[in-house]
Amino acid sequence: MTLLIKNGEIVTSDRRYKADILVEGETIAQIGDDLSVPEGAEVIDAGGKLVFPGFIDPHVHIHLPFMGTFAKDTHATGSQAALIGGTTTYIEMLAPAGSEKLLDGWNLWTGLAASKSACDYTFHIGVTRWDDETEATLRELAAGGMKSFKVFLAYKGAFGIDDAALYKTLALAKELGAIVTAHCENAELVSQLQQKLLSEGKTGPEWHEPSRPEAVEAEGTAHFATFLEMTGAKGYVVHLSNEQALQVALDAKARGVDISVEGVAPHFLLDRSLTLQPDGAKYVMSPPLRDKSNQAALWKALEDGQIDTVGTDHCPFDLSQKAMGRDNFTLIPNGIPAIEDRVNLMYTYGVSRGGLSLNRFVDALSTRPAQLFGLYPRKGAIEVGSDADLVVYDPAYRGQISAGTSHMNVDYSAFEGWQLDGRPEVVTVRGQVAAEQGRFVGEPGRGQLLRR
């Protein structure tokens, strides 16, 4: 299979230039001016379009047993929605309950994704308890290329771990050369504040944010940073939501702690006032949507590269699931779906209508995730020899987001009616066209598990 993408403007993390791209089989074979069309090649005219490396979502939940229910997507629906939105690789959190064996979790999660995912995928290996068996499994999985772990400082009684397990996970990661990603909120403070608010009759979704205030996330971030400092491990704060926590991470970095920061699309764009609406449960995620005043700092940090990556924390629950917490905000399944919308939202509100440079946009949504998680330059780059994961992007497209036209398996959108100033026209995964103009045209189950 030969594919020639002609007349496009290639945008990578550090360059913007006009050139054609020749794809042979699954990889990029040549990049140059006015390449001739090989016999039998499929030609895509990218005139007037931008050509990006396939986008990587470093933080998604597809299979997720959580808060007494399950996130709604399957790897079939989640991957197809991802591809339509320009994401060609995602990293899923493999998160077995603390009562389950890690190896059983590995078998379950990989079994669910295999032969279902249409895009490439890999996992952050969730460490939800510590014992000899967990350690042995982590060693085995890391040797097999699963070199990123995930810990939750929040979610007491579910995924959350104690400080001994945190220390041991980080020490092992340091030994194995793995990176540890962390949800940084102090679980005990969240639990105490939740009980206090409920006892005061404060039960609605608008009390979710006050039950896990910015300072609680800043404390979690400081806690994680201190443990990184003591162990010398490499860490990554997921879904950092506010300026105070950001400052903590930046201070740690300034004193030499190896810490990177992820922002997620909802925190850049949505704010806590939405939880006051009658359907406020739609907007409940953790860390919570914050006061709008944080957003300028997040956008600036993104442009400056202080926020390294942008993911989604895609976590789809239907409205009927959200209604489980109608009388008690602590029972609302936490999560906002966005896997299909991240690229278009960040392009529209970051690049087209904001101050985010195109290069940093590509860097944060593709190249940095690839570099941090051991996928670069196979992914996250437009180079000869890289996988031909390419997004031909139409900046002239105008449309809007709606649950009715979305491909995610969920019955609402937190971004309903939001306007878009662009969308992927053609998306390829390893040389095959997988999505075109808002439609999935690929092969279900073609996605590969990426070992790193």
CB 284 within 8 A of CB 271: no
Q: Considering CB distances under 5 to 8 angstroms, the limit depending on partner class, which of Zn ion, ligand URP, none binds residue 208?
A: none
Report the residue from 13, 21, 60, 61 that binds ligand URP according to the rule CB under 6 A.
Answer: 61
The CB-of-422 to ligand URP minimum distance in angstroms stands at 27
Distance CA(160)–CA(214), nearest Å, equals 19
Q: Considering CB distances under 5 to 8 angstroms, the limit depending on partner class, which of ligand URP, Zn ion, none binds residue 280?
A: none
Q: Chain-centre distance of CA 258, in angstroms?
A: 20
Distance CA(406)–CA(280), nearest Å, equals 20
The CB-of-347 to ligand URP minimum distance in angstroms stands at 23
CA angle 428–109–151, rounded 5-degree value = 100
CB 411 within 8 A of CB 318: yes
Instruction: Confirm or reject binding of residue 286 to ligand URP (CB under 6 A).
Output: yes
User: What single-letter DSSP state applies at residue 388?
Assistant: -
- Class of residue 164 by CB neighbours under 10 A (exposed 0-12, middle 13-18, buried 19+): exposed
Instruction: Confirm or reject binding of residue 334 to ligand URP (CB under 6 A).
Output: yes
Query: What tokens appear for 87 in the block?
Result: 């994401």
The CB-of-93 to Zn ion minimum distance in angstroms stands at 6
The CB-of-185 to ligand URP minimum distance in angstroms stands at 9
Report the residue from 248, 315, 388, 391 that binds ligand URP according to the rule CB under 6 A.
Answer: 315
Instruction: Confirm or reject binding of residue 183 to ligand URP (CB under 6 A).
Output: yes
Number of residues that bind Zn ion (CB under 5 A): 2
Residue type, 395: P
Helix (H, G, I), strand (E, B) or coil at 378: coil
The CB-of-388 to Zn ion minimum distance in angstroms stands at 29
Instruction: Confirm or reject binding of residue 267 to ligand URP (CB under 6 A).
Output: no
Q: Which residue's CB is nearer to Zn ion, number 50 or number 338? A: 338
Report the residue from 49, 116, 183, 342 that binds Zn ion according to the rule CB under 5 A.
Answer: 183
Q: Which residue's CB is nearer to ligand URP, number 206 or number 387? A: 206
Distance CA(405)–CA(269), nearest Å, equals 21
Number of residues that bind ligand URP (CB under 6 A): 8
Report the residue from 57, 308, 313, 340 that binds ligand URP according to the rule CB under 6 A.
Answer: 313
Per-residue binding string, Zn ion, 274-313, x by CB under 5 A, is: ---------------------------------------x
Q: Considering CB distances under 5 to 8 angstroms, the limit depending on partner class, which of Zn ion, ligand URP, none binds residue 285?
A: ligand URP
Report the residue from 285, 370, 375, 388 that binds ligand URP according to the rule CB under 6 A.
Answer: 285
Residue 126 region, left (φ>0) first, then alpha (ψ -120 to 50), else beta?
A: beta
Pairing of strands 439-440, 390-394: unpaired
Phi/psi of residue 414, each to 5°? -70, -10
Phi/psi of residue 12, each to 5°? -115, -170
Instruction: Confirm or reject binding of residue 335 to ligand URP (CB under 6 A).
Output: yes
Query: What tokens appear for 432 in the block?
Result: 């095959």
Q: Chain-centre distance of CA 265, in angstroms?
A: 9
Catalog residues that contact Zn ion under the rule CB under 5 A: 183, 313
Catalog residues that contact ligand URP under the rule CB under 6 A: 61, 183, 285-286, 313, 315, 334-335
